[in-house]
Amino acid sequence: MKQPAAPLTSPSCKPVKGRARHGFALASALTASLLGCFAPAAWSNDLLTVYRDALANDAVYSSARYSLAAGLEKYPQGLATLLPTISGSLNTQFNEANIASRATGVAPVDRRFNTSGYNITLSQPLFRWQNWQTFEQGKLLVSQSEAVFAQAGQDLIVRTAQAYFDVLAAADSLAVSTAAKTAISEQLAQAKRNFEVGTSTIVDTHEAQSRFDLAVAQEISAQNDLETKRTALQQLVGKPVGDLFKLRSDVRIPPPQPAVIDKWVEAAEAGNYSVRAQDFAKEAARRTVEIQRSGHYPTLDLTASRSFSSQTASTIAASGTDNTVNAIGVTLAIPLYAGGAVNSRVREAIANEEKAKADLENLKRTAAQNARQFFLAVTNGLAQVRAFEAAQVSSQSSLDSNKLGYEVGVRINIDVLNAQQQLFTTRRDLSKARYDTIVNSFRLKAAAGGLKEEDVAAINALLAR
């Protein structure tokens, strides 16, 4: 990643002055200046830097990370059901007994003694169908958690790009509004001078004044929008973002590869992470059916135990005893009747499995539709960019011609103002079309499950200070 040689912050927040005929250079300069005005920090950020900040600080992504950590525990929990369990206990007890005989002449006996011991028990499942299915289900749930986390990572890239280019679009809109206001103010001043010398009517002055007042209102609205968009980006990265790198003026956005929509649809149906997560969920639901059916199956366990007890005396003897017992065996349990609960849980699990299948089909269709939608959005966006580039050249020529016509008296002031408005609107729409096309290209790759940091780096290479 290239580091900027110097911060992009503008030394002042005053609008860049200049005449409208300077074209896109004026809007570009204003964009840089206005971005500096609203930046709370003095360093520059490109898209890749902002994305990495979002990786570290975005609350939504952090939540997904902890959700993954929790989901990974399903594997050791399932494995534990197949492994032996060992338990132990210790006990000690003080006893005080009064022993009285019914025989005559025998005095009662008082005895005080202590009883203590321990017990260790091992149980190893030999056949428990539900335990094996739980273990297999745990592996599926781990895979599902990983797919959900991968989808969260792709969503983060899209959200970061959207917020980043929203700021640039808002700054471009503000720059265009300011440039339009400057140009209209010059046209207003010229209309007033022409009216004073009698070469134009008061109508031209009033028209220019109304356009100027509207431009002031639009500039205020654009300023508010820029502040809002910058705040949204700051919320994503968790800190002030400073100035942002912009798209180069000669940028060429790459088309989607492959350039066949059906390929993207197939990739989305198979590789979309939401689809893959739901596929794992469907298989986990099938395992749940088997777990519930195992309520009808017998269980077989190997058990082994060792117990030790010690007494200093007893109620029948004054001397103590030590006893050690070792035992090993198998336990077979056969369920006979559970009131219909097992059958009910099986039916419930089957219904949930069918629901998971329907949800999977819905996600596949949604992913395919998203792939089609974003593929068309990218291809149409590229065509729209080319059209706006041509329109920008035509609008500039129209403005130059109208200005010349106004000077020689064959055009009126309203013609110049309309030409100016058309040029500024075309510039704004061109930049917005570029941003939307880039974000839609990210959405297309995310729909197919192929969006990576390398894609962010590729777009980042199209930015400049």
What are the pLDDT digits (tens) for 10-59?
Answer: 333 333 333 333 433 434 444 444 444 444 444 558 999 999 999 999 99
Segment 288-303 shows an average pLDDT of: 95
Q: What is the pTM of this model?
A: 0.79
Q: Supply the pLDDT for residue 8.
A: 32
Residue 109 has pLDDT above 80, yes or no: no
Q: What are phi and psi for residue 322, nearest 5 degrees?
A: -125, 130
Segment 69-77 shows an average pLDDT of: 96
Pick from 444, 445, 437: nearest CA to 462: 437
Residue 352 structure tokens? 């949930």
Residue 1 has pLDDT above 50, yes or no: no
Q: Supply the pLDDT for residue 267.
A: 95
Helix (H, G, I), strand (E, B) or coil at 200: coil
| Fold category of 20-78+130-293+339-464 in CATH | Outer membrane efflux proteins (OEP) (1.20.1600)
**Residue 308: beta bridge partners?**
118, 324
Task: Kindly report the number of other CB atoms within 10 A of residue 438's CB atom.
Answer: 23
Residue 188 has pLDDT above 80, yes or no: no
- Cβ–Cβ < 8 Å for 174, 222: yes
Contacts of 431 (CB under 8 A, 6+ apart): 168, 169, 172, 247
Residue 445 structure tokens? 């790759």
Look at 146-150, 171-175, 402-406, 445-449 and tell me which has the smallest mean pLDDT.
402-406
Residue 6 has pLDDT above 60, yes or no: no
Task: Kindly report the number of other CB atoms within 10 A of residue 30's CB atom.
Answer: 24
- Cβ–Cβ < 8 Å for 174, 30: yes
Rounded Cα distance between 315 and 318, Å, is 8
Pick from 401, 384, 359: nearest CA to 437: 384
Q: Supply the pLDDT for residue 44.
A: 59
Q: Supply the pLDDT for residue 29.
A: 41
Q: What are phi and psi for residue 328, nearest 5 degrees?
A: -145, 140
Look at 108-117, 333-342, 381-390 and tell me which has the smallest mean pLDDT.
108-117
Q: Supply the pLDDT for residue 200.
A: 65
Q: What percentage of the chain exceeds 90 in pLDDT?
A: 60
Q: Supply the pLDDT for residue 104.
A: 64
Q: Dump pLDDT digits (tens) for 240-269.
A: 888 899 998 888 999 999 999 999 999 999
Write down the residue that tokens 């809002």 correspond to. Answer: 228
Tell me the H-state helices in 238-333. Answer: 261-271, 273-293
Rounded Cα distance between 108 and 122, Å, is 44
Look at 42-51, 191-200, 378-387, 393-402 and tell me which has the smallest mean pLDDT.
191-200
Task: Kindly report the number of other CB atoms within 10 A of residue 145's CB atom.
Answer: 22
User: Can you give the C-alpha Rg of the chain in angstroms?
Assistant: 39
Residue 116 structure tokens? 């203590």
Contacts of 367 (CB under 8 A, 6+ apart): 268, 269, 272, 274, 275, 447
- Cβ–Cβ < 8 Å for 245, 171: no
Residue 133 has pLDDT above 90, yes or no: yes
Look at 158-172, 174-188, 340-354, 447-461 and tell me which has the smallest mean pLDDT.
174-188
**Domain edges within the chain:** 20-78+130-293+339-464, 82-127+298-333
Rounded Cα distance between 50 and 79, Å, is 41
Rounded Cα distance between 351 and 357, Å, is 10
Q: What is the largest CA-CA distance in the chain?
A: 149
Domains 20-78+130-293+339-464 and 82-127+298-333 alike in fold: no
- Average pLDDT over the chain, rounded to whole? 85
Task: Kindly report the number of other CB atoms within 10 A of residue 315's CB atom.
Answer: 12
Q: H or E segment at 371? A: helix 341-408
Helix (H, G, I), strand (E, B) or coil at 294: helix
Q: Supply the pLDDT for residue 16.
A: 35
Q: Supply the pLDDT for residue 262.
A: 95
Rounded Cα distance between 332 and 244, Å, is 70
Give CATH for domain 82-127+298-333.
2.20.200
Rounded Cα distance between 81 and 74, Å, is 11
Rounded Cα distance between 38 and 97, Å, is 89
Pick from 377, 367, 388, 392: nearest CA to 438: 377
Helix (H, G, I), strand (E, B) or coil at 86: strand
